[in-house]
Structure 1
Amino acid sequence: MPTKNLFLVDDHPITVDSYKNLILRTKTAANDIYFVTAFSCEEAYKRIIEKHNDQENFDVALLDISLPSYPAKNLLTGIDVAKLIRYYFPACKIILLTMHSEPAIVTTAIHEINPEGFILKNDINAASFVNAYQSIMLGSTFYSSTITKVQNDTIIKKLDFDAIDLQILLLLDKKIKTKDMPNHIDLSLSAIEKRKTNIKNQLLKDKGNDTAIVNTAKKLDII
């Protein structure tokens, strides 16, 4: 049986060790598993490029969304790292694990990544993690209960925001200037500015700056 290459990315080393131990307990775990770890967006970028340059693949990647950023490569979160994995290793199964259930984060991650697994850490324990991992390895998609609930969040539908609008809100929260957003979103600056105007109109009735937009979105539990 060929070696499975697993990529574990979390800014807490103890969490990475826990994932290793749990995966090795699963019935679907091969005898030959090679783990690659990273604890930040920068480390993850380097591991991805190294693996690609060695003409090897990652079979599975488990990533936290909240990671120390790597602005030099426009990698702000684990979502950006996951997009890079999708680009270099299209067949890799991606499992996002997070403490964040804000609609903007959940919607953006699903739109940008379409992960095979999306798990709120508070939704699972050791046993359910093992079950979820086995299910994903057998070809199923697994989203934990809170993630599934957030997908149907009424405030997003009421405001008529799509995934790109929510991504703009997340970038504003990261204090990314509007002129720099085309580095993160595949849209022209003018298209982003139009969307931002619409966001402001819906949240603030066209009154307020970027900070006010972000603060209102947080009060509504969107981000």
Structure 2
Amino acid sequence: MTTHNLLLVDDHPITIDAYINILSRLENATIPKHFTTAFSCQEAYNKIRDRNHSQLTLDVAFLDISLPPYEDRNIQNGIDLGILIRQYFPKCKIILLTMHSEPLLLHNAIEKINPEGFILKNDINAQSLMTAYQEIVVGQKFYSTTIHKVLRQDIIKKLDFDTIDCEILALLSRGIRTKDMTDQLELSLSTIEKRKSNIKIQLLVDKGTDKDIIDEAKKIGIL
């Protein structure tokens, strides 16, 4: 008998319980659901690896973006987990959930994993979550209302920032020094410095500090 294998990752157990309760209302005698849950990047990483090593499938993954990181594997959030799932389970449909709608985060997530679903938690209720799941499992995409609205704001494109530029901004916002970004980005220090200089020119026009870059990025709504 075919089973839909779902992975639910959120650091709030009550949220996962709610998802299971909602999705269980869609019970189909011919397609039962099996739920695997995790509450951190480390726990999710281990369960993803275990399923892969055991040659078990993974059909749908609900991933909260903000999660306790797994520093040993440099898995910082649900986006990084999505990259891992794409590697091990390329047919798995990924649904990202978040409380944040900053354009930088959304564009970064879409460029890295192109999720089948992208939901702002404030947009969703029980009925719309069931609708999202039903549409996604039959091959459609589902992006919630606010996600669509933010994506229409073409700030990132107008600034001509690519994924690496977005990652540099994100690292700066976390207080990572330029010289320490080489391990995170696998780029030379000179390349990172050139990109950072271009970011500064586009955001500040004139000279400024790392703090000025981050303040301006937050001011225009891309961080």
Please indicate, yes or no, whether the TM-score normalized by the shorter chain is above 0.5. Answer: yes
Q: Is the 8 A contact 2:2 2:31 kept in 1?
A: no
Cα 1:157–1:167 shift into 2, 3 Å: same
- Tell me the alpha carbon deviations over residues 82-118 of structure 1, each in whole angstroms, 9 at most, x when there is no partner: 1111111111100001111100000000000100101
Q: Which moved more, 1:181-190 or 1:166-175?
A: 181-190
Q: What residue is the counterpart of 1:82 in the other structure? A: 82
Equivalent residue number for residue 212 of structure 2: 212
- Using the alignment, how far apart are the partners of 1:165 and 1:30 within structure 2? 47
Matched to 1:10, the amino acid is D
Alpha carbons of structure 1 residues 29 and 128: separation in structure 2 relative to 1, 3 Å: farther
Distance in 2 (alpha carbons) for counterparts of 1:34 and 1:129: 17
Residue of structure 1 in register with 2:19 after alignment: 19
- Alignment correspondent of 1:110: 110
Superposed displacement of residue 182, structure 1? 4.5
* Per-residue deviation, 1:31: 4.6
Aligned-residue RMSD, C-alpha: 2.0
Deviations 1:124-146 (A, max 9, x none): 21111111110001110111121
Please state if 1:150 is matched with 2:150. Answer: yes
Q: Percent identity?
A: 59
* Cα distance between partner residues in 2 of 1:222 and 1:29: 45
Post-superposition offset of 1:36 = 1.0
The within-5 A match list for 1:168-179 is 168-179=168-179
Q: Hey, what's the Cα distance between the residues in 2 that align with 1:151 and 1:48?
A: 30
SS of corresponding position for 2:152: coil
Is 1:134 the counterpart of 2:134 in the alignment? yes
Secondary structure of residue in 1 paired with 2:57: coil
CA contact (8 A) 1:8 1:63 kept: yes
| Alpha carbons of structure 1 residues 217 and 161: separation in structure 2 relative to 1, 3 Å | same
Which sections of structure 2, spanning at least 5 residues, go unmatched? none
Q: Shift in Å at residue 26 of structure 1?
A: 2.2
Indicate how the Cα distance of structure 1 residues 29 and 188 shifts in structure 2: closer, same or farther if over 3 A, else same: farther
Structure 1 Cα separation of the partners of residues 45 and 222 of structure 2: 29
Query: 205-214 or 65-74: which moved more?
Result: 205-214
Q: CA deviation at 1:218?
A: 1.2
- Change in Cα spacing, 1:23 to 1:106, as seen in structure 2 (3 Å) is same
Deviation at 1:38, TM superposition (A): 0.9
Q: CA deviation at 1:162?
A: 2.7
| Local SS of the residue matching 1:5 | strand
Aligned letter for 1:153?
Q
Alignment of 1:183-194 (within 5 A): 183-185=183-185, 187-194=187-194
* Deviation, structure 1 residue 20: 0.8
Contact 2:165 2:195 in 1 (8 A): yes
The answer for the alignment partner of 2:35 in structure 1 is 35
CA deviations on 1:151-172 (whole Å, 9 max, x unpaired) are: 1214333323233322221122
Shift of 1:201: 1.3
| Shift in CA distance, 92/179, structure 1 to aligned 2, threshold 3 Å | farther
**Structure 1 pair 84–206 and aligned structure 2 pair: CA distance change class (3 A):** farther
Name the structure 2 match of 1:47: 47
User: How many positions carry a matched residue from both structures?
Assistant: 223
TM-score, scaled to structure 1? 0.91
